[in-house]
Structure 1
Amino acid sequence: MIHYLSFVGSVGAIYALLAIALVFIWGQAGIVNLGLAGFFAVGAYTAALLSVKMGLPFIVGVAAGAVTSAMTGVALTWITRRMDADYLAIVALGFAEALRLVLQNEAWLTGGTDGISGVPMPLRISSGSLAAEVYCGLVFAFLFLCGLLVRRLIRSPFGRALRATRDDAAVASMAGKNALAFRLKAFAVGAAVMGIAGALYAHLTSYIVPDIFSPTVTVYIFLAAAIGGHTRVRGALVGGAVITVLLEGSRYIASHTTVLTPAQTAAAREVLIGASLIAILNLRGAGLFSPRNERAPADSVGVENERVELKTCE
């Protein structure tokens, strides 16, 4: 039982990581990224290939997954820089689906529909039978560090400028803020966190196939961010936990149902998840943690006021 709970906890932490990335890209930068599953896959396959085919250490695979995913995000944002937000969302969705098809057909590199197996879980030898529990703690350590980093960025001057470009890019540009540069940086940070989540997932399951990275993953993470509050890191953590409980709880209920056929049980499970999420969002439309803008510290505000006064006196 403890192994199962450790696995579920690791999956929930990975979902929370993805939700944190979405909070930064969607909630703070205002970019709707429907290609979340694609960046998740980039991180997973990068780590798996480096680990299985090149024998590189776990941390190298995680770092490479983050860098590769971030570079992919920057490239996609640059290509779509002249498009409106809605078109960017469509292109990102198309990118994720195109990437999944490439992963299915390029068997010489990705294993095709057979996937990649034998991705090693770190610390398995030293921790023995407690490998799943130790790895769960490692995943939560990554969740803590990424959450802390994103939270600091949100509260920094960069985060305030990012929200300014989100609310009105034209006004922000008049104030000397390069909206495109901020979008590129935001997407790079968010995509890097998604790549880390993908790498952690590959080492958790030890086996990945293209079907894992379907658009359903994107839907689940958007729902997790919406449940907790799509502008708050705290909301991403709670949303990741809620979506994990709903997914695993409905799986448990479905497995103990004898009235329905397996196909009907799977459909009923999806209906149950959808109904539960609709009920939550109707009761709390803005999420469990309502949106708020982080204000500048009082000392920095005072410094800015002094500068304005000096300029006025001059």
Structure 2
Amino acid sequence: MVIYFVFLTISAATYALFSLGLNLQWGVTGLINFGHVAFMAIGAYSTVLLSMQGVPIPIAVLVGAGLSALLGLLIGMSTLRLREDYLGIVTIGVSELVRLVAKNEAWLTKGTFGVQGYPVPFRFNPEYPVRLLLIGWLTAICGLALWRLWLWMRVESSRLISGAIAIIFVLTVYVCGALSLYTYDARAGLMLLSLTVLTVVYIGLERLVNSPWGRILKAIREDEEVPRALGKNVFWYKLQAFTIGGAIAGIAGAFYAWQFTVFPDNFEPLITFNAWIIIMLGGSGNNLGAIIGAIIFWGYYEITRTEFFKVIFRALHLDDTQQGAFRIMIIGLILMLLMVLRPQGILGKKEELTLGK
């Protein structure tokens, strides 16, 4: 059970990191990107292929993030002057192009067989003093998260319920993570690394979004003619947001590779739309909402795989394929209700919405 929760935490952290990149592009800047998974694919393939050639894993991750940022730069330079709907069409086309290249260029990406046998970080058996240091590291991260949640809950009383759920999740992560680190399991080390990177990216994005640079991005989202009239280079700011969001998705791609597998069909457009679901659940333009949305998303999928729901699915005479489709139908209904009752998402604000203006 402890290792299972560690797996769930890594998955949620990976999708939260991936969604933070999309949130910067869409939630903050208003750029519709239906091909965000392309950046994840570039980051995943670059990281594992370079690490298999002996490149240190941190450098491989940075190179993967750099290549993802370069892809964002190339896409942005040629498409960001398009209208929102045309931009969305181009980006989903680019993501499919990247997937098909990965599927057919076997000399580089191993083709449909995927990449296997690559190094994964924290695959060692540390001594007990090192394990205690890792537990202290986890304590600092979880303590920072609890402090941030406490400050956030004090702003509005309506946040008490969602904040309490988040606090329970953080405490569960800490208990399960500490137990796994003490007995030491490689996944516990990967969980610690994913939470660390997620924390750093979240803090960095919060500073950027609340800086003058971030306020210009929000102004572009609302009406780009206003910042342009004030002498701001709107295209350059859009390009920056698109590139940074791509780099963050590239880093998420490395964790995706370490957590799951690297096959071309693992980077289908559905991954991008999962990130859209996460942002709509948590709230457009809200970085904390993207993290909580990822927790809810993965919690929903894992809960519906429990024996209790399997009994319900059997009573409905659903086979395994139909069960997967039924889960998607249910989350679709939840999103429909959310769009009617609270279109800004759980933590979002109506003024942060970028669609239907």
Distance 1:36 1:115, change over 3 A: same
Alignment of 1:93-172 (within 5 A): 93-127=92-126, 129-172=184-227
Q: Return the alpha-carbon distance in structure 2 between the equivalents of residues 246 and 38 of structure 1.
A: 25
Q: Return the alpha-carbon distance in structure 1 between the equivalents of residues 249 and 292 of structure 2.
A: 18
Please name the residue that 2:31 is paired with.
Answer: 31
Alignment of 1:85-96 (within 5 A): 85-96=84-95
Q: Return the alpha-carbon distance in structure 2 between the equivalents of residues 227 and 125 of structure 1.
A: 37
Q: Return the alpha-carbon distance in structure 2 between the equivalents of residues 215 and 276 of structure 1.
A: 21
Q: Does 1:284 align with 2:338?
A: no
Aligned AA for 1:26? W
* Farther-moved stretch of structure 1 (123-132 vs 238-247): 123-132
Q: Return the alpha-carbon distance in structure 1 between the equivalents of residues 39 and 244 of structure 2.
A: 12
* Farther-moved stretch of structure 1 (178-187 vs 165-174): 165-174
Aligned AA for 1:59? P
Q: Return the alpha-carbon distance in structure 2 between the equivalents of residues 38 and 112 of structure 1.
A: 16
State whether residues 229 and 286 of structure 1, in contact with CA within 8 Å, keep that contact through their aligned partners in structure 2: yes
State whether residues 227 and 281 of structure 1, in contact with CA within 8 Å, keep that contact through their aligned partners in structure 2: no
Aligned AA for 2:77? W
Q: Return the alpha-carbon distance in structure 2 between the equivalents of residues 81 and 133 of structure 1.
A: 40
Please name the residue that 1:230 is paired with.
Answer: 284
Please name the residue that 2:7 is paired with.
Answer: 7
* Farther-moved stretch of structure 1 (252-261 vs 116-125): 252-261
What are the ranges of 5 or more consecutive residues in structure 2 without an aligned counterpart? Answer: 127-182, 353-357
Alignment of 1:187-206 (within 5 A): 187-205=242-260
Q: Return the alpha-carbon distance in structure 2 between the equivalents of residues 271 and 84 of structure 1.
A: 31
What are the ranges of 5 or more consecutive residues in structure 1 without an aligned counterpart? Answer: 295-314
Q: Return the alpha-carbon distance in structure 2 between the equivalents of residues 150 and 288 of structure 1.
A: 20
How far has the Cα of 1:255 moved from its partner?
4.9
How far has the Cα of 1:227 moved from its partner?
0.8
SS class of match (2:232): coil
Give CA deviations for 1:214-269 in whole Å, capped at 9, x if unaligned.
Answer: 11111111010011111111111111111111222223356554442222222222
Distance 1:136 1:192, change over 3 A: same
Q: Return the alpha-carbon distance in structure 2 between the equivalents of residues 145 and 164 of structure 1.
A: 25
Please name the residue that 1:300 is paired with.
Answer: none
SS class of match (1:251): coil
State whether residues 33 and 88 of structure 1, in contact with CA within 8 Å, keep that contact through their aligned partners in structure 2: yes
TM-score, length of structure 2 as denominator length = 0.78
Distance 1:57 1:252, change over 3 A: farther
Q: Return the alpha-carbon distance in structure 2 between the equivalents of residues 292 and 154 of structure 1.
A: 17
Give CA deviations for 1:27-61 in whole Å, capped at 9, x if unaligned.
Answer: 11110111111111111111011112x12122112
Q: Return the alpha-carbon distance in structure 1 between the equivalents of residues 41 and 194 of structure 2.
A: 17
Q: Return the alpha-carbon distance in structure 1 between the equivalents of residues 300 and 210 of structure 2.
A: 31
Q: Return the alpha-carbon distance in structure 1 between the equivalents of residues 332 and 84 of structure 2.
A: 26
Q: Return the alpha-carbon distance in structure 2 between the equivalents of residues 88 and 179 of structure 1.
A: 16
Q: Return the alpha-carbon distance in structure 2 between the equivalents of residues 168 and 283 of structure 1.
A: 26
TM-score, length of structure 1 as denominator length = 0.88
